[in-house]
Amino acid sequence: MSDSLQTLFDDANGHLALGELDEATALYRKCVEIDPEHFDSWHALSMALMKTDHLKEALGASLQATSLEPNDLLAWTALSQIYVRLGNIPEAEAAKANSRILSMGGKVVR
């Protein structure tokens, strides 16, 4: 990760820690523009968007995160939470099943 991306990501995390969700979201968006392959930025963006009730955007960011890191337990858990909030229970259950597989030491194949 470049120093500029790291600085931007750290700044976004600082805003998130202070509850400044709009500021954090804007910076996470810049992070994924700089590096579309940066999993942590996509995952953090999805969480910030979910907390601000931008659920459809959160879903897109979360799907990108699970695509980049299909064996990340927290990414699948977050995706499940977003699906629940959207009322998509079958998709939520499928994402939850993937997180269960990972919690038991398995792998998710995409």
> How far apart are the C-alpha atoms of 99 and 5, rounded to whole Å?
29
- The pLDDT-based confidence of 1 (bands split at 50, 70, 90) is confident
Do you know the residue count of the chain?
Answer: 110
CB 48 within 8 A of CB 28: yes
Domains with residue ranges and CATH for the chain:
3-103 (1.25.40.10)
Alpha helices in the chain (DSSP H): 3-17, 21-34, 39-51, 55-68, 73-86, 89-103
Tokens of 71: 């064996």
pLDDT at 110: 65
Task: Judge whether residue 86 has pLDDT over 70.
Answer: yes
> How far apart are the C-alpha atoms of 68 and 62, rounded to whole Å?
10
The fraction of the chain above a pLDDT of 70, given in percent, is: 99
- The pLDDT-based confidence of 61 (bands split at 50, 70, 90) is very high
Mean pLDDT over 66-82 rounds to 97
Residue-wise pLDDT tens digits, 40-51: 999 999 999 999
- Whether the pTM exceeds 0.85: the reply is yes
Amino acid identity at 31:
C
State the residue for tokens 């996509």: 42
